[in-house]
């Protein structure tokens, strides 16, 4: 760490001379941190790939499982909704349900695996100095790689439901990037918490389950257009409300997302990234003594 005293020898660019000094505010210097982060990005990618390989998701049946699992879940929820409503909804609702579920599992999967990433990387953290944020970042990459095979399924149902195709769909990659930043920020936050409270990961499944029911997945935005403002003001606080709302504006209606959803998604992505990463980075140098 370079402190107040100017250090002529401290050459971050060559990386040959390292000066460690006490840090005052807890945050590392940003420029070298992010440069090192970028330089070691291969690590995060390789860790995701190795993890998926270890879970046999690189095989044909592994890939099929990645597709079947969310599809079966979709079927379960479809039946559930049909029973609760007393009559089944159309295939366009199935498209809505599957799209929402797949995205939800991308985001929540990134958060749940990210939460354990630091505690699970114990030995590496004890032995090597590197930007620890690579660990939750890798969890987000893993979740994304698991999310990708489900996209063709959604596309098939989308076509079967006769839903529109439009130029607005070009915005979908942007949306996914924002989802990833949001998911990574939250993952970094919970990963830090997990270091201090090892039961964080035990509480998480309950939160995730409630979050699923509060998000416009099993229900549509039209379903809740009739609810009173009291409930509505709660629903819009859910990050996934604008995030999935923006997605649904594009795929269900072929429109560019309405401004409130677009801004809401952007705000949550930036907010979660900033808060989650700063919290993580301000604590990460303590991880080695807390593991």
11: three-class secondary structure by DSSP: strand
254 burial type by CB count under 10 A (0-12 exposed, 13-18 middle, 19+ buried): middle
134 binds other proteins (CB under 8 A): yes
Q: Which stretch binds other proteins (CB under 8 A): 72-80, 161-169, 171-179, 283-291?
A: 283-291
Q: Measured from the CB atom, is 172 or 278 closer to other proteins?
A: 278
> Quick one: which of 58, 59, 69, 129 contacts other proteins (CB under 8 A)?
129
* Alpha-carbon span 186 to 189, nearest angstrom: 5
* CB-CB contact of 113 with 55 (8 Å): no
Return all residues near 201 (Cβ < 8 A) that are at least 6 apart: 112, 115, 116, 190, 194
**Span 49-88, contacts to other proteins by CB under 8 A:** 50-51, 53-54
Q: Measured from the CB atom, is 46 or 222 closer to other proteins?
A: 46
33 binds other proteins (CB under 8 A): yes
> Quick one: which of 75, 198, 205, 255 contacts other proteins (CB under 8 A)?
198
Pull the structure tokens for residue 77: 């929820």
Q: Which stretch binds other proteins (CB under 8 A): 30-38, 99-107, 146-154, 161-169?
A: 30-38
> Quick one: which of 76, 126, 177, 227 contacts other proteins (CB under 8 A)?
126
Q: Which stretches of 40-59 are DSSP H helices? A: 41-54
* Alpha-carbon span 192 to 129, nearest angstrom: 17
* CB-CB contact of 72 with 95 (8 Å): no
254 binds other proteins (CB under 8 A): no
Q: Could you give the C-alpha distances from 3 to 6, 9, 14, 22, 284, in angstroms and in order? A: 7, 13, 19, 7, 18
> Quick one: which of 196, 210, 222, 263 contacts other proteins (CB under 8 A)?
196
> Quick one: which of 120, 149, 254, 271 contacts other proteins (CB under 8 A)?
120
Task: Report the interface residues with other proteins, using CB under 8 A.
Answer: 1, 3, 9, 14-23, 28-29, 32-33, 36, 39-40, 42-43, 46-47, 50-51, 53-54, 120-131, 134, 196-200, 203, 285-286, 288-290
């Amino acid at each position: 760490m370079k402190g107040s005293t100017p250090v002529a020898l401290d050459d971050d660019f060559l990386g040959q001379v390292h000066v460690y000094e006490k840090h005052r505010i807890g945050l590392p210097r940003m420029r070298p941190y992010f440069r090192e982060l970028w330089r070691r990005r291969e690590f995060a990618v390789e860790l995701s790939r190795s993890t998926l390989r270890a879970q046999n998701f690189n095989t044909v049946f592994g890939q099929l499982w990645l597709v079947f699992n969310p599809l079966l879940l979709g079927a379960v929820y479809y039946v559930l909704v049909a029973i609760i409503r007393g009559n089944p909804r159309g295939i366009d609702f199935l498209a809505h349900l599957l799209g929402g579920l797949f995205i939800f599992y991308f985001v929540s999967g990134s958060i749940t695996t990210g939460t354990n990433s630091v505690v699970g990387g114990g030995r590496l953290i004890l032995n090597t100095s590197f930007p620890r944020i690579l660990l939750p970042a890798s969890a987000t990459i893993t979740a994304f790689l698991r999310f990708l095979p489900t996209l063709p399924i959604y596309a098939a149902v989308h076509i079967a439901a006769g839903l529109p195709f439009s130029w607005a769909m070009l915005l979908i990659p942007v949306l996914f990037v924002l989802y990833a930043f949001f998911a990574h920020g939250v993952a970094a936050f919970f990963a830090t918490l997990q270091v201090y409270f090892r039961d964080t990961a035990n509480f998480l499944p309950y939160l995730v389950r409630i979050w699923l029911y509060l998000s416009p997945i099993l229900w549509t935005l039209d379903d809740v257009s009739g609810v009173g403002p009291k409930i509505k003001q709660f629903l819009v606080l859910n990050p996934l409300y604008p995030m999935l709302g923006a997605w649904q504006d594009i795929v269900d209606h072929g429109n560019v997302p309405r401004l409130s959803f677009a801004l809401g998604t952007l705000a949550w992505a930036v907010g979660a990234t900033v808060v989650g990463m700063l919290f993580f980075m301000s604590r990460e140098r303590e991880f080695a003594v807390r593991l």
